[in-house]
Amino acid sequence: MNPLATLIDLTQSYPCCHVPIVTLATAAYRGHEEDEVLIEEPKKLIIRDTNRRPTAAQIAAFKGVPTGFVADAQDGLGAMDARIGPVGDGRDFPCAMAGPAITAFNRPGDVLATLAALKFVQAGDVLVAGFSGHQGCASAGDRVCGMLKNCQAAGLVTDGPMRDYQGIVEVGLPSFCTGLTPASPVAAGPGVIGGAVDIGGLRVETGDMIVADRDGVVVVPFDTIDAVLLRLEHVAKLENDLDQEVRQGLKIPKAIEDFLDSDEVQYLS
């Protein structure tokens, strides 16, 4: 008998990757109903836009700028969770970088998207490898760092731990992670390259600017880069002027002195 045209799609998704994993189709027939659940295996890898990048001038403008300046130019926002820091606390090689993000979303304990993203890395990129915050095994190691360096990447950011520390030091690629572990991941998928990744309390998209140093990692959304650069000039002047005053003997900021003398403060005897 011919079914009525009644199909109900129920889609569940992995965070930030929008990969359908279940389709529920209900076909209604005259005189009776049959419910059929079709379980669809997701594609092992989805590749979205991997080409969006800031201009060379925009990228260059962030080189050597302290992360604190960049955060201040965004009203104190844009910094990743403090648990994501330079591998080895940056004690054995310089960990500072500035470059556009290319994103890879991995489910916990998996690195398929990270490895496949190497195909799309452009010179100067920062690979932002989301690991779904998983801490049970390494999200990358010295070989991934070595291949990224061969691709002329600027660095790596991940929300998981890393492994093979001595090899990472030898490669010398600026890398930011949550710590170290000897445990190995798998590379089975599913994953997404070029999509939005939630990492360190922020949403990062390919083309966003990543600025990182010993203090941590700051993200500048692609659409706000020019506005942030304009404010950055002002922030840098204020910071440099205050540094000079401190070197010349400043003991307390004038604004605080004025505040302490105002009626906003009550002194009790």
Q: What is the pLDDT along the chain (269 residues), one digit of tens a residue?
A: 433 333 323 333 333 433 333 333 333 333 434 445 557 788 999 999 899 999 999 999 999 999 999 999 999 999 999 999 999 999 999 999 999 999 999 999 999 999 999 999 999 999 999 999 999 999 999 999 999 999 999 999 999 999 999 999 999 999 999 999 999 999 999 999 999 999 999 999 999 999 999 999 999 999 999 999 999 999 988 888 888 889 999 999 999 999 999 999 999 98
- Rounded to whole angstroms, the Cα distance separating 194 from 147 reads 19
In a 3-state reduction of DSSP, which class is residue 230?
A: helix
What CATH code would you report for 45-230?
3.50.30.40
- Rounded to whole angstroms, the Cα distance separating 75 from 93 reads 30
In a 3-state reduction of DSSP, which class is residue 150?
A: helix
Are the beta carbons of 127 and 117 closer than 8 angstroms?
yes
In order, the DSSP letters of 153-171 are --EEEESS-B--HHHHHHH
Are the beta carbons of 140 and 111 closer than 8 angstroms?
yes
Element at 147 (helix H, strand E)? helix 142-150
In degrees and rounded to multiples of 5, residue 179 shows phi and psi of 150, -155
Instruction: For the chain, give every residue range classified as CATH 3.50.30.40.
Output: 45-230
Stated pTM of the model? 0.82
Are the beta carbons of 168 and 95 closer than 8 angstroms?
no
Within 10 angstroms of residue 10's Cβ, the number of other Cβ atoms is: 11
| Structure tokens belonging to residue 184 | 């190995």
